[in-house]
Structure 1
Amino acid sequence: MPARRTEPLMTPLVAVAHGSRDPRSAATVHALLDVVRWMRPDLDVRAAFLDLSAPRVGDVLSAVHGDGHDSAVVVPLLLGRAFHARVDVPAAVAEAERRYPRFRVHVADVLGPDPRLDRAAWRRLADTGARPDDPELGVVLAGAGSSHAPANRLVADVARRWWASTSWAGTSAAFAAAADPDVPAAIAALRARGARRFAVASWFLAPGLLPDRITALARESAADPLIAAPMADAPEVAELVLDRYAEALTAATTPHLSHAL
């Protein structure tokens, strides 16, 4: 077997997930990063969590610094720019740079919006047997929900694009918390449009409390709904993680135009 090419001082990729008390969530993050490593075996890829799971972001960045690296790229495993992306991730990075003044942490953009997320969620929905040519199917695209309206609009925009390209009775975004509509309201609205069968697509990366809540509400609101799994370790998501890493690294190492003139 040929030896793998390694670059010990290549800037590590630190993938930062929210974290959960549900062990399935962290296991799913690690499975996703196994796909990332398979795609880029030369790259140092590490998992970190903002809360509720270990290792925490600060501990991972300290370990990266302790291993002799002078920089890292943090890739938030977040689907939109809600509170965690705007507050928690920058705070963790600022604390690491305060502790290690010569250590630079470059923060990549969040994963969404991006067509690859649409495709990953669609693929999981298709796995349930949902067909795009079913005129009696109502599809709920369920996300976590946020007080940050643009994050919710991202989910609603995906649902609208799906409806425009199918024969479904309708689609609706729905949210587990912090935003409307919830799943029962979304299903009721789709039923009013003529839907007789229902499917719930997942705008989540990993299983956990909120996806479980979505599933329970869907089963209370409709008979035998099709329930899609989270995007999890879909190859589209792994590819997107690597692209966000590359974009951040390029931005960090490309001189500003004014410097080149």
Structure 2
Amino acid sequence: MVGGQAMSGPRAIVLFAHGSRDPAWRAPIEAVAERMRQIQAGARVVCAYLELTEPDLPSTVNQLFAEGVRAITIWPMFLGTGRHAREDLPRLVEELRAQHPAVEFVLQPAIGEHPDVLETMARSALG
């Protein structure tokens, strides 16, 4: 809801990760996005990065907005809620809300703290 009115129109999910100088680093995040698109045909899933890797979150949101997206869910692809997820990302999202008041932004907690992810990691580590 924005301004008391429910948002309608195209939706997107942004997988938000830290970024790295190593171009191979982004492969797992991109693989998650691709798997999501396979699971749900037509899902609009894109990746954005905090630093060192393109595209950054503002560029990604600007592109989605230009495509008509009016609801964006952001999943921080971090194992825990460190400084980036606790301070940097919320600040970025608030700036984006100010720039795009017609867009509904939903900021999820760090993916690594989701119960299903914790369960999968524990089972995987046990072999």
Q: In the TM superposition, what is the alpha-carbon distance from 1:113 to its structure 2 partner?
A: 4.5
SS at match of 1:12: strand
Distance 2:126 2:29 in 1: 20
Q: Which residue pairs with 1:154 in the alignment?
A: none
The alpha-carbon distance between structure 1 residues 119 and 34, as it changes in their structure 2 partners (threshold 3 A), is same
What is the 5 A alignment of 1:70-89?
70-89=70-89
Change (3 A) 1:56 1:119: same
Q: Which amino acid aligns with 2:92?
A: A
Question: In 2, are the aligned partners of 1:49 and 1:55 still within 8 Å (CA)?
Answer: yes
What is aligned with 1:58? 58
CA distance in 2: counterparts of 1:115 and 1:99, whole angstroms: 34
Q: Is the 2:15–2:48 contact (alpha carbons within 8 Å) kept by the matching residues of 1?
A: yes
Q: Partner residue of 2:38?
A: 38
Alpha-carbon distance change, 22 to 123 in structure 1, aligned in 2, over 3 angstroms: same
Q: Cα distance 1:124–1:40, how it changes in 2: closer, same or farther (>3 A)?
A: farther
The equivalent of 1:114 in structure 2 is 115
Q: Deviations over 1:87-108 (max 9, x none)?
A: 1111111121222222221111
C-alpha offsets along residues 50-87 of structure 1, whole Å, 9 cap, x if unaligned?
Answer: 11111000100111111112221111111111111111
- Normalising by structure 2, we get a TM-score of 0.82
Select the structure with the greater relative contact order (CA < 8 A; seq sep ≥ 6): 2
SS in 2 for 1:16: strand
Q: Deviations over 1:96-127 (max 9, x none)?
A: 1222222221111221152433423542663x
Alignment of 1:154-193 (within 5 A): none
1:3 aligns to what?
none
In structure 2, distance between residues paired with 1:55 and 1:11? 19
Are the aligned partners of 1:79 and 1:113 in contact in 2 as well (CA < 8 Å)? no
Find out whether 1:10 has 2:34 as its counterpart. Answer: no
Question: SS where residue 11 of structure 2 aligns?
Answer: coil
What's the C-alpha RMSD, in Å, of the aligned pairs? 1.8
Unpaired runs of 5+ residues, structure 2, are 1-8
Q: CA deviation at 1:17?
A: 0.7
CA distance in 2, matches of 1:96, 1:60: 11
Distance in 2 of aligned mates of 1:13 and 1:98: 19
Question: In percent, how many aligned pairs have the same letter?
Answer: 26
TM-score (ref. length: structure 1): 0.42
Say if 1:14 and 1:48, in contact at 8 Å, map to a contact too.
yes
Q: Residues 29 and 70 (structure 1 numbering): CA distance in 2 closer, same or farther, change over 3 Å?
A: same
